[in-house]
Structure 1
Amino acid sequence: MNSAAFASGLPRTMHRELPAGPYAARHARQQTAGLLLAAHGRLCPEGVAADILLIVSELATNAYLHADPPYALTVSVDEGCAGVAVSDASAGIPDRPRNREALSSHGRGLKIIRGLGAELYVSRSGWGKQVIAVLTWQP
């Protein structure tokens, strides 16, 4: 399903299929930025928008690196809350965060998302899973 963001009122939700390759994260960021920019700052403060984009990027990157396609992104933003879900065709659950060296270039994505204050959930289905991050802020 490749539906557009709803045009009026809150919450704003979009669902996009993501390419099954190294451009998945870039595509996810661009689509999410479009949703946030279309609202002219009415959905969330600028700093929160940057956090949402980072969450989107980390989840899409994890899907590309650790799961099977197809991939899909769902983003929903309401007053004081955003949900980001990336779906994939793998049933495997993400590993618990391990202690990584500070300068390591891999394995810190979920820790970064938690560091932004987001809650993380995994929902399994018969065809794969969704990794979901929920970020809240004071409106």
Structure 2
Amino acid sequence: MESEAAMTDSSSSTQVERDDLPGVIRQYLTAHNAGDASASAALMTPEARVTDDGKTYDGLPAIERWLNRAVSEYTYTTTYLGAAQDGPDRWTVTQRLDGNFPGNTIDLRYDFTLDGGLISRLVIAP
């Protein structure tokens, strides 16, 4: 898989197990995968920025609207594929989504940046 190969080839990335991810990332993935928009948003800084599907959402009100739309638009299941630490406060998680969206299956990278124990930036991309 390209995303896993890219993580492995990067000399600045270290592969990690899911249990070794920071708690805030594990909590976010659990809440997001369960469709809990308010619990997901609570794990972000007030000035957080999320980029998903080519669109950027700045601040908690915009992120909460995005989360609510994301959890209601499609039904899907997720499979954890892997993770890497890309820097002191940067982590990448790869998940496979299977659902009723166009294409039915996609592998997505979730690039997290943490600040003060919360998520300050999240980029989701294939």
TM-score normalised per structure 2: 0.33
TM-score normalised per structure 1: 0.31
